[in-house]
Structure 1
């Protein structure tokens, strides 16, 4: 008896790794913030074909996306899948939206090789983020428990939304600078600021500033460290609520810090021994604050 033929499954071709997932998109820092730590945020973006997509930090059930009953496409960023290139994943959701009936969630599948978000989004589009107090925006403009629409499943009904809202950390986007978000978690107040600069140069600049005491955002604040997100560095400051509380108190200090940072980034001289020590400390002080 001859050997049975064995068919090997052909692995689907993958996209090459790209460190800066959202580089080249309008509002790169805000895409990262919505993906990583803003609990309830939305922004509209225009595609090259002229259509508009609503980008959401989180959709019901951590869904990939949905097509609303009015035909508008909603794209979820905080999802449970990752096929290697997040930009390609998100672009594939938009491809699937064209085949999805209105009022229906988009079912994600393996995207394989294809266009990335950067190939679909109009580079001249705006990307203005709205931070919501809760997830009530999920059901805006819908008919609860409608039999003709599955865009709002039972799991995202009023009780589920109320429960989800209880776990939201109050978050505010600063208006004076790009990509900076204040949040309150329990007794802690933090500012997470996604900065669109090369990581190595950022560490050099932060080391220069911290070594001479110019890294604060006003009285009662201190730079805790940073974390990496999609190829960029996200410094995190903690605020003493007895001294500095609320995003409003950080607006002017953030602008002033931004100017000091630009000056430090422009300094190409060698770091001093003290600055190198600070840099090493910053590089190894990677936070998990989300």
Structure 2
């Protein structure tokens, strides 16, 4: 009787590096091969690449409950435009009665290119505002060919403000009317969060029984994992005493390392240690020496401690 083949099974990988059997990174819940991996499908793995404060945009979409940033839009410099992490009723964009235009990060479009989708609703909201109209703007189908955020935003960097809750939803409204209950509910659900000032895109948050530092980083995955592995082997990956590096999120083409920090640490106590860690990370990134077996093993362990959220 012939022996069964013992050749290891291989998993097909699409040209963009995504396993067709895995959930589509767009968040639809479908397998990639039945969603944006199907014939004619388009998925942009790093939709905010080239935008100012790319890492912060990823954080506002995936990690930060409540934050805002003013935007300057090409050809519409006289219209006050505000980017928000989450808008009322999870609206993609809004033309406000005050004349402001808002565009939201945390929306549930699944058409493959978040940047193009956000640009489409932003352009429509701007048209509403300039016509003296107001209301919510969204998408019910994939946007027609048109600009991406990269074609619209003229800021060199974003001035991000993290809020304790969502009172900014009604900052331009005189009569809150029935909004009070919804606002109260939203505020109760927002976890305390603060952005570190000394490094880019690092956010402290408290869940009550735990505190975390979540830090979106711009480097390519392979080089960042190797640098983090070098720091781990040398014991330099602990941000503050008794902190613990627990793994990484992968979102929109970038990695976001996560640390558990002792309860009561707060954001101010993380500022200097985070700056020192960045210096050590930069040094590790610049190390082009052959990694030791211990470093390679650590890198493999880190690769297994990733969770893809987009």
**SS of residue matched to 2:205:** strand
Name structure 2 gaps, 5 residues minimum: 1-38
Deviation at 1:181, TM superposition (A): 0.2
Q: Which residue of 2 aligns with 1:26?
A: 52
> In the TM superposition, what is the alpha-carbon distance from 1:281 to its structure 2 partner?
0.7
What residue in structure 2 maps to residue 212 of structure 1? Answer: 234
Match of 1:190 in 2: 212
**By how many angstroms is 1:274 displaced?**
0.6
Distance 1:216 1:265 in 2: 17
- Counterpart pick for 1:113 among 137, 145, 150: 145
Residue number in structure 1 paired with 2:266: 246
Would you say 1:181 and 2:209 are equivalent positions?
A: no
Matches within 5 A, 1:54-65: 54-65=82-93
- TM-score under structure 1 length normalisation: 0.86
Q: How many residue pairs are counted as aligned between the two chains?
A: 266
User: d(CA) in 1 for partners of 2:124 and 2:236?
Assistant: 49
**Secondary structure of 1:98's match?**
helix
Determine which of 29, 37, 43 is the counterpart of 2:63: 37
Does residue 1:223 correspond to 2:254, yes or no?
Answer: no
Match of 1:133 in 2: 164
Is the aligned partner of 1:201 residue 2:227? no
**Matches for 1:66-81 after TM superposition, within 5 Å:** 66-81=94-109
Partner residue, 2:283: 263
1:104 equivalent in alignment to 2:132: no
How far apart in 1 are the matches of 2:172 and 2:251? Answer: 34
Which of 172, 177, 193 aligns to 1:171? It is 193
Quote the Cα distance in structure 1 between the aligned partners of 2:203 and 2:145: 34
Q: CA shift at 1:15, angstroms?
A: 7.9
Q: Which residue of structure 1 lines up, in the alignment, with residue 4 of structure 2?
A: none
Cα offset, 1:53, TM superposition: 2.0
**Structure 1 gaps, min length 5:** 1-12, 147-153
Cα deviations by residue, 1:224-263 (Å, 9 ceiling, x for unpaired): 110101101100011112xx61000000000000010011
**Structure 1 pair 99–52 and aligned structure 2 pair: CA distance change class (3 A):** closer
Indicate conservation of the 8 Å contact 1:82/1:89, yes or no. Answer: no
Q: Secondary structure at the match of 1:88?
A: helix
Residues 260 and 205 of structure 1: CA distance in aligned 2, closer, same or farther (over 3 Å) = same
Cα RMSD for the two superposed structures: 2.0
Q: Is the 8 A contact 1:203 1:279 kept in 2?
A: yes
Q: CA deviation at 1:76?
A: 0.7
Q: Please give the alpha-carbon distance, in whole angstroms, between the structure 2 residues aligned to 1:138 and 1:52.
A: 15
Q: Is the CA contact 1:55–1:77 (under 8 Å) kept in the aligned structure 2?
A: yes
Partner of residue 295 from structure 2, selected from 259, 275, 282: 275
**Could you tell me which residue of structure 2 aligns to residue 48 of structure 1?**
74
Task: Check the 8 A contact 2:170/2:176 in 1, yes or no.
Answer: no
Q: Distance in 1 between matches of 2:56 and 2:40?
A: 26
Does the 8 A contact of 2:240 with 2:261 survive in 1?
Answer: no
